[in-house]
A and B are shown apart, each in its own frame.
Chain A
Amino acid sequence: MNSGIDLEMSFTQGVQNLGLSHELAHLLWIPLPMLLVLVSAVIGVLVTVWLERKISAAAQQRIGPEYAGALGILQPMADGLKLLVKEDIIPARADSVLFTVGPILVLVPVILSWLIVPFGQNLLISNVGIGIFLWIALSSIQPIGLLMSGYSSNNKYSLLGGLRAAAQSISYEIPLALAVLAIVMMSNSLSTVDIVEQQNTAGFLSWNIWRQPVGFVIFWICALAECERLPFDLPEAEEELVAGYQTEYAGMKFALFYLAGYINLVLSALLVSVLYLGGWGFPISIDWFSSLIGLSIDNPLVQIIAASIGIVMTILKAYLLVFLAILLRWTTPRVRIDQLLDLGWKFLLPISLVNLLVTASLKLAFPITFGG
């Protein structure tokens, strides 16, 4: 089972050789992957912001950021720095405690969800058994933060934006969970590692997207709605609500919302690639490749190449989806609130229920292809 590189074991052994106890070594290990994932999440956001600026510019026949670094690649850093040194304003009639806690409650669950994103066999923070269910549970905390910041701003637009955001989040969570349930049914496990492994038996032909095309579309639409991306960015619809629940926010508190939005986008893209596009799997199976060059799969060289290919593949797939999301944002108009709720409750929910039913019957009929 654990055929891949086990960094944790080698680290703890290395530290133990320096004369520390096993527990202390484990304690020293725990923050390292968390820090690594946090840093990679933030870098992922910086890249996404730069992509968003460049692609939106291209879509509108502009040049976009150009002077901050080569091709404006340092522009997101400049944005972040600007937000960091801006004055932190709390409106006079706002509820200052809830106003401060709101953005934190929005950001923390999103970052916690990175716990379950695998970049390789052992390259994830924790292979928890409930895996993908943990993500669904954590993402259901977010509406509370949105409601909190909308309410505490003491502003009509903010309150309406917060209520809209929470309503949208709740109504799209159900089809999302049902789409995930169909995947879970096929792979007999909630763990993200198992879900990816079950897809990597025969290269890209065994990816879940071929077996769950409807689920893929449902999941992608719902993920966009959960991230409040256009065409579903109603909570902050500028023409109607100024900026929704973010209206009164400035400086670092606004940056938290901004960060949460983009981290959530990258996370959703990563999860789509994990659930439907084979995660770290290379389109051609690694076993076949290693037999071609005549090395066994346990060879350290093959292992390192496989691990780096895995990371590159996961990120590549995720960023293709991010590209798609950005393109969608700059080319599609916004839906109305009634259309949004109709789409969620009257279209996606029945379709995802039917998808679940069909998956269950296919699983009974063809246990080999649909995971028995």
Chain B
Amino acid sequence: MNIAYSTELICFLILSAVIVSGSLAVVLLENIVYSAFLLGGVFMAVAGLYLLLNASFVAAAQILVYVGAVNVLILFAIMLVNKKEKLKPIKGLKTRKLISGGVCGGLLILLLRVSITTKWNLPGPTSIGEEATERIGEHLFTDYLLPFELASILLLMAMIGAIVLARRDISISTGDINDFKNKKSLINKKIPLLSENSLK
């Protein structure tokens, strides 16, 4: 066993331990902020696995997209709605937890069985290393062009939807604002998320 192989093995073991324990913590922790930060850690560890597979471009893309964009967005959402309120106790929470735990355990056993019984073609294809960037580009613009374009259309739709939802151009008549007798009138008036004006 040479040094390179043992380093790789140690790195793999550490990364897998981080991924498994981190994702368990993401699901099980009560504090949602911790979950969100740990999710970032799990994404980073997955990027580390890609690095071990010699796929540096995919690893960097994983960090850029999942850590830099998705996870930051999740954190933003949590922190902007940073409300500490006690949730109402839900009836039968224990049985629900047991059932979902059972389902997850069953899934795990199923996956383990598949991974053990499958005859993996070892060793797998040799990695192309630095050429990967060009190869990914070629594939994206030839045989995977349609899925690629469809994904961008999907993202565009999501973006337009988010903008429409976030816009609240509501004109409130000055009479309503200057209505001093009824101070809470503005709050009580249910302001529609999508008013007529926002669609103009």
Contact = CB atoms under 8 A, between A and B. Distances in A.
Interface of A: 23-24, 27, 98, 128-130, 133-134, 136-138, 140-141, 143-144, 147-148, 150-151, 159, 162-163, 166-167, 170, 173, 190
Contact of B82 (A23, A133, A159, A170): A159
A133 B60 contact: yes
Nearest to A150: B79
A170 B61 CA distance: 15
B115 to A, nearest CB: 30
Interface string B47-66: 00000000011001101100
Interface residues on B, range: 20 to 34
Contact of B33 (A130, A133, A151): A151
A140 B67 contact: yes
Given A98-B37, A134-B60, A137-B60, A147 B67 contact: no
Nearest to B68: A140
Contacts of A23: 2-4
23 contacts: A24-B3, A98-B37, A129-B129, A130-B57, A134-B56, A136-B60, A137-B64, A137-B68, A140-B67, A140-B72, A141-B44, A141-B63, A143-B68, A143-B72, A144-B67, A144-B72, A144-B75, A147-B75, A147-B79, A166-B75, A166-B76, A170-B72, A173-B68
A151 to B, nearest CB: 6
Most buried by A among B40, B57, B68, B71: B68
B25 to A, nearest CB: 13
A141 B68 contact: yes
A141 B133 CA distance: 22
Interface of B: 2-4, 33, 37, 40, 44, 56-57, 60-61, 63-64, 67-69, 71-72, 75-76, 79-80, 82, 129-130, 132-133
Nearest to A188: B134
Nearest to A134: B60
A355 to B, nearest CB: 20
Nearest to B57: A130
Closest 10 CB pairs of A and B: A140-B68, A129-B130, A137-B60, A137-B64, A137-B63, A23-B3, A147-B75, A143-B72, A130-B56, A133-B60
A361 B3 CA distance: 49
B82 A147 contact: no
B169 to A, nearest CB: 16
Given A129-B132, A137-B60, 10 more contacts: A23-B4, A98-B37, A130-B57, A130-B133, A140-B69, A144-B40, A148-B37, A167-B76, A170-B69, A173-B68
A144 to B, nearest CB: 5
Contacts of B4: 23
A136 B64 contact: yes
Contact of A141 (B61, B67, B79, B132): B67
A137 B61 contact: yes
